[in-house]
Amino acid sequence: MIIYEHPLNELMRTCLRLEQLFQQAIPYIDSSHSTDSHIAMTLLGDIMSLVERPHLKSNFTKELLRLNTYLSRLTDCEGVDHTRLSDVIADLDTQQQRLHSADGKFGQRLKENFHLKTVRQHAHTAGGTSCFDTPAYHHWLNSDADRRRDDLRRWYAECNDVLQTVDLILDLVRQCGGMRDEVAQHGSFDQALDATKPCQLVRIAMDKHSDLYPEVSIGKHHLTIRYYRFNDTDDKPHQTEEDVSFKLACCIL
């Protein structure tokens, strides 16, 4: 199955983008090739662009507190796995304490990293990290592979608090939306949303062998999904007219 996810608030958008960047970086951090090390640095620069946003740390802290408060109310409910619930609440407490004890903003020390600053300053220029533009960075890229791996692991470790927070929030939100079977008649699906129970994340599951993909439009009160047929040409895709079976989850927590 292919999972398509659509966030309904800015915090979810940031979490999904950070998760994607961290996942993309994994195979490049431990690679011995200098080109892969450069990709890892470029991705780290993208991560920093999100991490440096004002109030991100306080927004994460507020969200962890909100989730903790909500889940704590379930301790007296019947049918609840109290062992699992206690473990989740403990994880939330631990992560809140980590964020509270961390000095300054996320990635504060990385902001002064010479090589990362160099990459970010030249990232918007085509070929901007050529050896004549960034000789010190070029020297680092051609240094011993073990040194580059150690440096990248150390620099990415500066973002561990961010990664752990993102993983915890997304894991909890995703678990709160059970998949149900739906049909988009003539390639279109509409559903009203309950504004009193705001959805954080919409998840759509499709057969990975299907040549159809969804485009999602969401407002405060309404969800619309339209299916388009993927093609191998450069032509603009067109919405399908056939009925499309898929699975849908609206994650509310």
Burial of 210 (0-12, 13-18, 19+ CB in 10 A): middle
- pLDDT of residue 167 exceeding 90, the answer is yes
pLDDT digits (tens, 9 = 90+) for 81-102: 878 888 999 999 999 999 988 7
Domain end, chosen from 123, 143, 172, is at: 172
40 Cβ contact partners less than 8 Å away, ≥ 6 residues apart: 25, 28, 29, 31, 152, 156
The answer to whether residue 3 is domain-embedded is no
Give me the pLDDT at residue 198, please: 83
By residue range, what is the domain housing residue 202?
A: 178-251
CATH of the domain at 184: 2.60.440.10
The answer to whether residue 2 is domain-embedded is no
Residues 163 and 64 in one domain: yes
pLDDT digits (tens, 9 = 90+) for 58-82: 999 999 999 999 888 887 777 778 7
User: Cα torsion at 58, 59, 65, 71 (round to 10°)?
Assistant: -160
pLDDT digits (tens, 9 = 90+) for 211-239: 999 999 988 788 999 999 987 777 788 89
Transcribe 169-215 into DSSP letters. Answer: HHHHHHHT---EEEEEBTTEEEEE--TTS---EEEEEE-TT-SEEEE
Query: How many structural domains does the chain have?
Result: 2
Residues 143 and 213 in one domain: no
Give me the pLDDT at residue 213, please: 94
Q: Which two tokens stand for residue 211?
A: 């040549």
134 Cβ contact partners less than 8 Å away, ≥ 6 residues apart: 118, 119, 122, 128
pLDDT more than 70, % of the chain? 100
Q: Give the position of tokens 């640095």.
A: 41
How is the beta sheet containing 244-251 ordered, strand by strand? 2-7, 201-206, 244-251, 180-184
In order of 20, 230, 233, 238, the CA distances from 227 in angstroms are: 23, 9, 18, 9
The mean predicted confidence, pLDDT, of the chain is 91
The amino acid that residue 111 corresponds to is K
Rounded-to-integer distance, Cα 169 and Cα 176, Å: 11
